[in-house]
Structure 1
Amino acid sequence: MGGTGPGEGPAPGAGGPDRRRAERERRPPLRYRIITVSLLTVAAVYFLTPVYWLVVSSTKSSSDLFGTFGFWFHDPDPLGRLHQVLTYDDGIYARWFANSLMYAGVGALAATLLSAAAGYALAKFRFPGREGIFNVILAGVLIPGTALALPLYLLFSRIGLANTYWAVLIPSVVSPFGVYLCRIYAAAAVPDSLMEAARIDGAGEARIFSTVGLRLMTPALVTVFLFQFVHIWNNFFLPLVMLSDSDLYPIQLGLTSWTGYADRQPELYQYTVGGAFLSVLPLMVLMGVLQRYWRTGLTEGSVKA
């Protein structure tokens, strides 16, 4: 009478104190948490301070940029300053911005698809010379892009593509690191049994890759796309070597050209700072939009057998 009968669960709250005690025991000691939070705070301040300075400085005139305290506002007019940047020299900055979006967007998308196809093939198909090809790709990861800029310029000049959009786009679609990452991820995330089931159902290899492989490789593809986008967006040396027409410049090269004339036109200092502020906005938006795919990939990987 009054006992817990068969099939009845424990009374509400039973085991609650024990569970909370176990959770407290699993938590790291307070001093370790304080040290961790302190180090993360210092790192955050270190990385965010230049961004804060850029935001503050983009609201100032050229005279205020050098004559006032750098980390606080003085007569801020952000919309007016940015309007001056966008309308200077018949809106050349907007053209540079569009060029950078085209170089980085098209180049990163093409590099991601090429890396996915190459990595998937190296991971899931056996053919003569597979490991040799992969070793050559790994060697490509170790070669700095600056070492290839001059040979690429000579090659593109020979075929008549220097000083064109293609001179920046074509080298941007090759990502040895992307191929390496996609091969490692495809080998772990795309089960052979699932591919065999798709073949039994009559699916061809191209369809298996597009409907099964690409879906399962999404976190890796997002990583390759973001890394390649940032790399192309910040690339300075390759456009410097390849391009001589200012209408083809990306943002980085265009802002550098403004800096070269700033001694004769002091307002270009402010325009350069405002242009630099605008140039980081796409990277911030892209990181905020795509980071959820990283979290999804990590969660899926944590529950795989």
Structure 2
Amino acid sequence: MAEQEWLNEQFAEHQDRLRAVAYRMLRSSSDAEDAVQEAWLRVSRADTDQVENPAGWLTTVVARVCLNMLESRRTRREDPAGALPPEQEEPAMPTGSAGPEDEALLADSVGVALLVVLDTLTPAERLAFVMHDVFDVSFAEIGTILDRSPVAARQLASRARRRVQGAAAASDAARSRKREVIAAFLAASRAGDFTALVELLDPDAVAGDAQGAQAVAAMFSGRAQAAVLALVDGVPAAVWAHRGRAKAVLAFTFDADKITGIEFETDEDRLRDLDIVLLGVS
């Protein structure tokens, strides 16, 4: 009974970190919860007499469960279940992780690239990269999880890192320019600058029932007073939020530097499934 109580206490103490590990490995809140539950079933049946580092041991168990799930997902060639962002809020990061400002910068620089590239990595590459670069787990520990040498684990993480960084660099310039155009559009909208709005729009731009640059400009002229520049799933957009909760998202499509379309999303369930980083008033 004492051993079970100790195990319950350890699992409760570290469960936020375990969920964070599972989420970043699987990019699905429901799959992450399943992984943590499966890990609990495994540790509850395990012999804990030789466990000297409970946090490391529990993290290893969760990582192995996630590795199995990734390998199964890859075999079936399935996409991760559910939306990529968390259903409500992302599990807490362990102590010493990046703060909100750093997370925003990360989302801005590699958000889209990371989400896309992670799903192209092998399960072993993904585990090595996430565990080392996000959670600072040693290559010796990662090697134990993967049943490989520390050198091999380091090579896996390095290969994954190069692919993520390459994708981020390739998309950074285009993403930055889109941010500039959206920021200019919001500023012109607030100022009621009809001419500036038309200049930013493609002649055939569409927004809701408005078709054509002048109609779209008329729709937005003098509006968007409370909308702010944001990253939505890592893509530049505009968001109207109330008390920190997103109430509407404006998604933009482009042809070169001209806005070709603006789509509105106000459905609360769909908004909860979006990863939104507010960047402040533009």
Please give the TM-score of this superposition, normalised by the length of structure 1: 0.23
Q: Return the structure number with greater strand share.
A: 2
Higher relative contact order (CA 8 A, sep 6+): 1
Q: Return the structure number with greater helix share.
A: 1
Q: Which has the larger radius of gyration?
A: 1
Please give the TM-score of this superposition, normalised by the length of structure 2: 0.25
